[in-house]
Amino acid sequence: MRPLHLENATVMVTGASSGLGVEFAHQLAARGADLVLVARRADRLAEVASQIGSAHGVTVTTLTMDLAREGAAAALRRDLTQRGITLTGLVNNAGFGYSGALHQVDDERTLEMVRLNVDALVDLTATFLPDLRASGNGILVNLASLAAFQPNPGLAVYGASKAFVLNFTQALWEESRSAGLRVLALCPGPAKTEFFEVAGEAAAAGLPRMEPDEVVEAALKALSRRHPPSTVVPGMANTAMAQLTRRVLPTRLVASTVGRMMRRGEVLGEAHGQER
Ligand SMILES: NC(=O)c1ccc[n+]([C@@H]2O[C@H](COP(=O)([O-])OP(=O)(O)OC[C@H]3O[C@@H](n4cnc5c(N)ncnc54)[C@H](OP(=O)(O)O)[C@@H]3O)[C@@H](O)[C@H]2O)c1
């Protein structure tokens, strides 16, 4: 792969109004990338854009959109075409968790999560992939999770949505190498964002949380390698956990241990997700 240069890049970051999305925006801008920031909360996006514009002098475009709605990717593409913006990078970061046993949670909220974490991510990727490939030095980062490596009682659909993202992204990594497109599945463990305000604090199961800047630094470091990996799990403890749950321990043991942790946090028993 050619060395990664972000000075002439234009990267769209979804879910850029809080958490990891804001951190991606800052770190990409610090490396010289122009940005397109997408989320539903316009006021938050405007605040992030103004901080980044003054700190790094890059061009920041904000687009307010609910990505869980059908046709969101096509609408974004139309909007960017009208503005004369061609993407060279995409960070599919928007996502949320909704916890509780499946028979006790709200079906519509569960399906909304699948529409955002899976449908929108695939649609955005497919819509912008030709541009990313054509750029010759593009990047595509998809937010999976440490949860992608194991069964997640209490977060069954969230975990499955992230397993989808991981598998999908690893396949695209291979499909994209010949085009010089760097594709990365980012699999963080718990991080200090608004994620658990939405998913329910108990979903963290008492695990330590990483700083968002460390998570994003791990992603950009992996993308900068001469031979970028398909997958990164930030943090040594999380990397060890992913290896253990995927390759060493029997699935039955992993599922029952996670189930016990979720029962202790009372995630299994009632729905915990908050709507924003
Ligand atoms: N934090 C963790 O512990 C953790 C661990 C593993 C993976 N992840 C993944 O990391 C990604 C980022 O999460 P985070 O931790 O940064 O959480 P966060 O602070 O809650 O940020 C989520 C972002 O997604 C946006 N979003 C939510 N629903 C949306 C919709 N329908 N349309 C457009 N944007 C939407 C939110 O913006 P608006 O509300 O303004 O729309 C927000 O900017 C997610 O995919 C999450 O699954 C997080």
What is the Cβ-side half-sphere exposure of residue 21, based on CA atoms within 13 angstroms? 28
Show the tokens assigned to 64: 């307010």
With a cut of 70, which residues of the chain have pLDDT below it?
267, 269-275
Pocket test for ligand 1, best of 76, 193, 196, 197 (most atoms within 8 A of CB): 193
| Residue 276 domain-assigned (yes or no) | no
- The tens digit of pLDDT for each residue in 62-103 reads 999 999 999 999 999 999 999 999 999 999 999 999 999 999
Q: What angle do CA 113, 114, 119 make, to 5 degrees?
A: 125
Domain count within the chain: 1
The sheet with strand 10-14 has its strands ordered as 60-64, 34-39, 10-14, 89-92, 139-143, 182-186, 231-232
Q: How far apart are CA 65 and CA 6, in angstroms?
A: 25
Which residue do the tokens 């307010």 mark? 64
> What is the Å distance from ligand 1's center to 126 Cα?
20
Helix/strand/coil (H/E/C) assignment for every residue in 96-148: CCCCCCHHHCCHHHHHHHHHHHHHHHHHHHHHHHHHHHHHCCCEEEEECCHHH
235 within ligand 1 shell (Cβ under 6 A): no
Q: In 10 A of CB 145, how many CB atoms?
A: 28
Q: How far apart are CA 39 and CA 229, in angstroms?
A: 28
151 within ligand 1 shell (Cβ under 6 A): no
What is the Cβ-side half-sphere exposure of residue 105, based on CA atoms within 13 angstroms? 28
94 within ligand 1 shell (Cβ under 6 A): yes
CB-based contact 25:37 (threshold 8 Å): yes
| Residue 5 domain-assigned (yes or no) | no
CA-based nearest residue to 23, from 269, 242, 195: 195
Pocket test for ligand 1, best of 13, 14, 18 (most atoms within 8 A of CB): 18
| Residue nearest to ligand 1 atom 25, measured at CA | 15
Which residue do the tokens 């499946």 mark? 102
Q: What is the pLDDT of residue 1?
A: 75
Helix 212-224 crosses helix 19-30 at what angle (to 10 degrees)?
50
Q: What is the pLDDT of residue 256?
A: 87
195 within ligand 1 shell (Cβ under 6 A): yes
The gap from C-alpha 260 to its chain's centroid, in whole angstroms, comes to 27
Q: What is the pLDDT of residue 159?
A: 97
What is the Cβ-side half-sphere exposure of residue 79, based on CA atoms within 13 angstroms? 15
| Residue 269 domain-assigned (yes or no) | no
> What is the Å distance from ligand 1's center to 193 Cα?
8
- Closest ligand 1 atom to residue 95 Cα is 45
Domain CATH code at residue 250: 3.40.50.720
Structural domain of residue 86, as residue ranges? 10-264
CB-based contact 21:156 (threshold 8 Å): no
Show the tokens assigned to 29: 């801008």
| Residue 4 domain-assigned (yes or no) | no
| Residue 73 domain-assigned (yes or no) | yes
Helix (H, G, I), strand (E, B) or coil at 33: coil
Q: How far apart are CA 36 and CA 80, in angstroms?
A: 9
Helix (H, G, I), strand (E, B) or coil at 276: coil
Pocket test for ligand 1, best of 195, 196, 210, 241 (most atoms within 8 A of CB): 195
> What is the Å distance from ligand 1's center to 134 Cα?
28
| Residue 274 domain-assigned (yes or no) | no
> What is the Å distance from ligand 1's center to 226 Cα?
29
Could you tell me which residues are beta bridge partners of residue 63?
38
Radius of gyration of the chain (CA): 18
Q: What is the pLDDT of residue 274?
A: 62
Active-site residue numbers? 158
> What is the Å distance from ligand 1's center to 158 Cα?
12
| Residue 191 domain-assigned (yes or no) | yes
| Residue 59 domain-assigned (yes or no) | yes
Q: How far apart are CA 87 and CA 120, in angstroms?
A: 17
